[in-house]
Amino acid sequence: MKKFTSLVLSILLVSLSIVALSSCGQKESSSDNDSDKLSIVTTIFPYYDFARNISGDKADIRLLLSPGSEPHSYEPSPSDIVAIENCDIFIYNGGESDEWVESVLNSLQSKTIKIFKMMDCIIPMYEQSTDHSHGDEYDEHIWTSVRNAQKIVSSITDAMSQIDKKNSNVYNENKNKYVEKLAQLDEKFSEIVQNGVRDAVVFGDRFPFLYFVTDYGLSYECAFPGCSSETEPSISTVTRLIDYVRNEKIPVVFYLDFSNDKTANLIAEDTGAKTLLFFSCHNVTKEQFEVGESYVSLMEQNAAVLKEALS
């Protein structure tokens, strides 16, 4: 499938070259003033949200992964590739979910795009399996740590300031305000963990929170590692989680956004625990996007449910 996708992308890029060249320099906005704005394309919601908080009204920002879409099944459309070709800054995460990016970048004709791989901003950690042994891949979910988010926001700000020097003061002022919000979130999570009666969390689901739990010294149990392609846990895994929740008197079993709560409910029914949603922030639903949900607001909700889980 990966080879097929790569081939399709290569063919598509060739066919799009004329279109891309003809549209070079165009912006999505309708006014002449907007045509001078910095053009930024991001692959996933966290980086889109970071960039829009930094830029204010000084940049046009496009999110490739449309709200409501499942992150791990995304493939770029022709218009997505043209948008990458024509932007000033392209921001992507890196990791297994972004394997398509390399094929696109290697085929782009534009040499002026500034490309930023966010996994280069932090020290990556190995994804761990359910028995906590080391895997072969780095965990790509770096944004789930608000401490990583602060580093990433600073890197994005530097990139924007280098290219759009006339607005660098605006970008840095906005960055400072936003980083302060992230620092407050970090402090809130730290206080919740310090005041908790336990230091373990249980996910009856995938587990993209290795960076998050590492920040606060939490232990964890989960049905699947990282963003595993598995959809049904083994009987032994479910039994292990049920025994753990019962023995440790765990009050909450988490499940993820863009997932189902089937396994979490199964564990809860057998143990009396409650199931609660914990946001990975990988993407948002259309409804969440329309009402203005953000990385910070989703993390605030995570703080509330974490407090309940550790009480």
Q: Is the CB of residue 146 less than 8 Å from the CB of residue 189? A: yes
pLDDT category of residue 71 using cuts at 50, 70 and 90: confident
Tell me the average pLDDT of the chain: 86
**Residue length of the chain:** 311
Q: Is the CB of residue 89 less than 8 Å from the CB of residue 163? A: yes
Half-sphere exposure of 212 (CA within 13 A, CB side): 24
CA angle 278, 276, 295 (to 5 degrees): 25
Using one digit for the tens of pLDDT, what is the confidence trace for 212-257?
Answer: 999 999 999 999 876 655 667 889 999 999 999 999 999 999 999 9
Least confident range from 8-17, 35-44, 192-201: namely 8-17
Using one digit for the tens of pLDDT, what is the confidence trace for 293-311?
Answer: 999 999 999 999 999 999 9
pLDDT category of residue 154 using cuts at 50, 70 and 90: very high
Domains defined for the chain, CATH in brackets? 2-182 (3.40.50.1980), 193-309 (3.40.50.1980)
pLDDT of residue 16: 43
Any residues with CB less than 8 A from the CB of 15 and at least 6 apart, and which?
Answer: none
Query: Measuring CA to CA, which residue among 278, 241, 242 is closest to residue 259?
Result: 278
Beta bridge partners of 191: none
Using one digit for the tens of pLDDT, what is the confidence trace for 283-297?
Answer: 999 999 999 999 999
Is residue 147 scored above 50 in pLDDT?
A: yes
Query: What's the mean pLDDT in 168-182?
Result: 98
Per-residue tokens: 265: 């409910």
pLDDT of residue 134: 43
Q: Which position has the token pair 């590739």? A: 81
DSSP per residue over 73-132, as a string? G----HHHHHHHHH-SEEEE--SGGGHHHHHHHHH---S--EEEEGGGGS---EEE-TT-
Q: Is the CB of residue 209 less than 8 Å from the CB of residue 144? A: yes
Query: What's the mean pLDDT in 16-24?
Result: 38
Backbone angles phi, psi at 305, to 5 degrees: -75, -30
Q: How far apart are CA 184 and CA 273, in angstroms?
A: 30
Is residue 27 scored above 60 in pLDDT?
A: no
Strands, sheet with 219-222, edge to edge from the N-terminal-most edge strand: 219-222, 200-203, 252-256, 274-278
Ramachandran category for residue 283: left, alpha or beta (phi over 0 → left; psi -120 to 50 → alpha): beta
Any residues with CB less than 8 A from the CB of 52 and at least 6 apart, and which?
Answer: 59, 61
Query: What's the mean pLDDT in 130-145?
Result: 72
Using one digit for the tens of pLDDT, what is the confidence trace for 29-68?
Answer: 333 335 689 999 999 999 999 999 999 999 999 999 999 9
According to DSSP, residue 226 is labeled: B
Query: Measuring CA to CA, which residue among 213, 209, 210 is closest to residue 255?
Result: 209
pLDDT of residue 96: 79
Q: How far apart are CA 259 and CA 280, in angstroms?
A: 11
- Residue 199 identity (one-letter amino acid): D
Ramachandran category for residue 90: left, alpha or beta (phi over 0 → left; psi -120 to 50 → alpha): beta
